[in-house]
Amino acid sequence: MTVAPPAQTANSFRNQPDERGHFGQFGGRYVAETLMPLILELEREYRRAKGDPAFQAEFDDLLEHYVGRPSPLYFAPRLTGELGGAQIWFKRDELNHTGAHKINNCIGQILLAIRMGKTRIIAETGAGQHGVATATVCARFGLPCVIFMGATDVARQAPNVFRMKLLGAEVVPVTAGAATLKDAMNEALRDWVANVHDTFYIIGTAAGPHPYPELVRDFQSVIGREAREQLLSRTGRLPDLLVAAIGGGSNAIGLFHPFLDDPGVKMLGVEAAGHGLDKEHAASLAGGRPGILHGNKTYLLQDEDGQILEGHSISAGLDYPGIGPEHAWLKETGRVEYTSVTDTEALAAFQLLCRTEGIIPALEPAHAIAALQKVAPTMDKDQIIIANLCGRGDKDIFSVAEHLGVTL
Amino acid sequence: MSRLAAAFAKGHPALVTFVTGGDPTPAATGAILDALVEGGADVIELGMPFTDPMADGPAIQLANLRSLGAGTKTADIFRIASEFRVRHPHLPLVLMGYANPMITRGAEWFAAECAQAGVDGVICVDIPPEEDPELGPALRGAGVALIRLATPTTDTARLPAVLEGSSGFLYYVSVAGITGMQQAAQASIEQAVARLKAASDIPVAVGFGVRTPEQASAIAAHADGVVVGSALVDIVARHGADAPAHIRALTSALSQAVHESRKATA
């Protein structure tokens, strides 16, 4: 049995996007003309970096010694017993430095920024996890950092705002629109267009104009490559199912991508159904349709005129009305199955993992755990599920307490 | 000769004016457009409101929010355009906006609606030449001009791609930035216009950050047209339904400055 993923073939699910940055009808480069030359330069520089062993070596070294990779692959015996079906294993990306998978991508992108001679970093953030990870790598490399964050999110994520400031970042509250993640992304794009000469935009998820969906996926694919090697060396076999939560979809594509050409491995992406798919939610695949926003064509929550609707989820990290274009394509090809779970289900799953495994998950992977509760019992006891535990829950204890009616 | 071509063949530079459709209400937009015409505008740009106007500064962002808040639908924009065309059979009208509302019912649908409403051209902020298949073929097929943007970052190697398939006029975005903020240095505008005109026969209109008759006059001495948007939108913000008289006054001052700019510098 080989450890490396199968070689890509003409029929591979792993050779996207095409040379124009399209995943089937999705993806692309829908940006203002001012940004196009920079986007094209980024693509050229990324191609060079991808083929440069020194770049890869520096990335690997930082992931090992700064981030703390490889993250463990952990068999969860009590959760498995409680659900009474397939074996559940967790990829423990919540143990990374800064407490989530976001740092993998930030390390890769800041190395690209430095290669391109950029001297100023900007980023958007919703819950603040990507903002903290970006502020962290900026401190590590001594670059000034500006984080755009919706004013609503600034108010409800005060600990992360303070973390970013401790790390030396400037946090700009965005009051436009609904003052959440989508508006923060608009404002970051406005800053970028005015500062293209010296500024690099570290996008936090596998979305935005090409080549961002591709490079974020590549940097996050360390999750799936490690998981594949770890499970093979521990059990001698591949998993039957992968499960991951999806907002923009970077942790999910990072886990899924190295397995896409293993036909025996099924995959399940879990969107946020919020109050329910017939009410306010953030499930772009389940409740949206294709459109163009923030540089790419993908599934969007929108009205009949193409006006973008606000997403809603208990998890600020899933609260976005779009999804990465590769997920849109994987849904249309049928290679990955997508489902959704509600705020209430995620909250119950959050508590279940605390109780059974002594792990406090973030509300984002709590959505994946809620999906496990439904699917694991339907599978045989000798089958294996790997779920991505993409973030830890320290940031969420205040909002969980509030939802449970507890005053801290 | 098309209405757009005629607007740039009057023997003087053209004043191109922008307001957001449906701001402050769909019912109020017609009178605001009439005030632009009465003030001497040569080309009218009608903004299609969008929830996420990523290329716009605060003035036009707020105009988008006011318009959507007043319940403006895409159907209202086409109704405003059709009624304008009846009142002003000869003045070119251009829709400007973002991709998603334009393609959401299909590019063919959008192009057909434009043609039927008497819209002469379309400016789409977030469809660069690389994504032309999304909208360009449908517009060209319907006889509607696709007006592209060139910017300070559009280098000589890229310029032919920007010009390919574009018509009506070329909109030179004079600053790398968003609408309504700072103005570019006059010298850099002059150099850019010279470079663009050397590469193409289509008229070049310059916009972003142009607010006063003095600025407009200086640019018009070199360009085929000058675009003013945020300064007019600010008037709508201040005066709402009473905006037309104020719009007419600023437009008159701008059009006089633009139309006579060559005389001033001669």
A371 CA: distance to closest CA in chain B (Å): 32
- At residue A19, what is the residue type? E
What chain B residue is nearest to A196 in terms of C-alpha separation? B176
Given B42, B56, B113, B120, the catalytic residue: B56
What chain A residue is nearest to B103 in terms of C-alpha separation? A291
Angle of the A102-115 helix axis to the A53-62 helix axis, nearest 10: 140
B50 CA: distance to closest CA in chain A (Å): 6
Contacts of A294 in chain B (CB under 8 A): 52, 54
Q: What does the mean pLDDT of chain B come to?
A: 95
CB A209 within 8 A of CB A35: yes
Q: What does the mean pLDDT of chain A come to?
A: 95
Coarse DSSP helix, strand, coil percentages of chain A, rounded to the nearest 5 percent? 45, 20, 35
Tell me if A306 and B74 make a contact (CB, 8 A cut-off).
Answer: yes
Given B34, B38, B42, B45, the catalytic residue: B45
Res A319: pLDDT: 86
Res B176: pLDDT: 86
Tell me the per-residue pLDDT of B67-85, one tens digit each, with 9 for 90 and over. Answer: 999 999 999 999 999 999 9
Q: How is residue A21 annotated by DSSP?
A: S
Which CATH number do you get for residue B35? 3.20.20.70
Q: Is B70 on the interface with A (CB under 8 A)?
A: no
Q: Is B125 on the interface with A (CB under 8 A)?
A: yes
State the Cα–Cα distance between residues A396 and A361, nearest whole angstrom.
9
Alpha-helical regions (H) of B70-207: 74-87, 99-103, 107-117, 136-141, 159-163, 186-199
Q: Is B150 on the interface with A (CB under 8 A)?
A: yes
Name beta bridge partners: A272.
A341
CB A209 within 8 A of CB A216: no
Cis peptide before A211 (omega within 30 of 0): yes
Q: What region does A47 belong to: left with phi over 0, alpha with psi -120 to 50, or beta?
A: alpha
Q: Is the pLDDT of residue B265 over 80?
A: no
What chain A residue is nearest to B68 in terms of C-alpha separation? A307
Q: Is the pLDDT of residue B203 over 80?
A: yes
Q: How confident is the model at residue A1 (pLDDT cuts 50, 70, 90)?
A: very low
Res A176: pLDDT: 83
Selected residues 351-370 of chain A with any CB under 8 Å from a CB in chain B: none
Q: Is the pLDDT of residue A346 over 80?
A: yes
Res B177: pLDDT: 86
Res A189: pLDDT: 93
Tell me the per-residue pLDDT of A326-336, one tens digit each, with 9 for 90 and over. Answer: 999 999 999 99
Tell me the per-residue pLDDT of B210-225, one tens digit each, with 9 for 90 and over. Answer: 999 999 999 999 999 9
B177 CA: distance to closest CA in chain A (Å): 4
Using CA atoms, how far residue A383 sits from A148, B42, B260, in Å, is 43, 71, 81
CA angle B11, B13, B16 (to 5 degrees): 130
What chain B residue is nearest to A188 in terms of C-alpha separation? B54
Tell me the per-residue pLDDT of A169-227, one tens digit each, with 9 for 90 and over. Answer: 999 999 987 788 899 999 999 999 999 999 999 999 999 999 999 999 999 999 999 99
CB B112 within 8 A of CB B135: no
Tell me the per-residue pLDDT of B251-263, one tens digit each, with 9 for 90 and over. Answer: 999 999 999 998 7
Tell me if B177 and A197 make a contact (CB, 8 A cut-off).
Answer: no
- At residue A359, what is the residue type? I
Q: Is A17 on the interface with B (CB under 8 A)?
A: no
Instruction: Give the residue numbers spanning the domain of B134.
Output: 3-265
Closest partner residue to B154 (CB to CB) among A28, A33, A189 is A33
Cβ neighbors of A351 (< 8 A, separation 6 or more) are: none
Out of A112-126, A240-254, B50-64, B182-196, which region has the weakest mean confidence (pLDDT)?
B182-196
**Is B56 an annotated catalytic residue?**
yes
Q: Is the pLDDT of residue A2 over 60?
A: no
> Which of B102, B126, B158 should one mutate to test binding to chain A, selecting the residue with the greatest count of A CBs within 10 A?
B126
Q: Is the pLDDT of residue A392 over 50?
A: yes
- Please name which of A363, A338, A341 lies closest in space to residue A351, comparing C-alpha atoms: A363
Q: How confident is the model at residue B6 (pLDDT cuts 50, 70, 90)?
A: very high
Q: How confident is the model at residue A8 (pLDDT cuts 50, 70, 90)?
A: low
Q: Is A291 on the interface with B (CB under 8 A)?
A: yes
What chain A residue is nearest to B156 in terms of C-alpha separation? A37
ipTM: 0.96
B168 CA: distance to closest CA in chain A (Å): 18
A31 CA: distance to closest CA in chain B (Å): 5
A150 CA: distance to closest CA in chain B (Å): 14
Q: Is the pLDDT of residue B2 over 70?
A: yes
State the Cα–Cα distance between residues A28 and A177, nearest whole angstrom.
25
Name beta bridge partners: B170.
B204
Tell me if B153 and A196 make a contact (CB, 8 A cut-off).
Answer: yes
Could you tell me whether strands A73-75 and A87-91 are parallel, antiparallel, or unpaired per DSSP bridges?
A: antiparallel
What chain B residue is nearest to A309 in terms of C-alpha separation? B51
- At residue A296, what is the residue type? N
Res B264: pLDDT: 55
Tell me if A308 and B100 make a contact (CB, 8 A cut-off).
Answer: yes
Domains of chain A, first to last: 32-65+102-216 (3.40.50.1100), 68-99+221-403 (3.40.50.1100)
Burial class (CB in 10 A: 0-12, 13-18, 19+), A151: middle
Contacts of A197 in chain B (CB under 8 A): 176
Closest partner residue to A194 (CB to CB) among B98, B104, B176 is B176
State the Cα–Cα distance between residues A370 and A344, nearest whole angstrom.
10
**In chain B, how many domains are there?**
1
Q: What is the mean pLDDT of residues A58-69?
A: 98
Q: Is the pLDDT of residue A81 over 90?
A: yes
What pTM does this model have?
Answer: 0.96
Q: Is B130 on the interface with A (CB under 8 A)?
A: yes
Q: Is the pLDDT of residue A61 over 90?
A: yes
Of residues A310 and A353, more confidently modeled: A353
Q: Is A298 on the interface with B (CB under 8 A)?
A: no
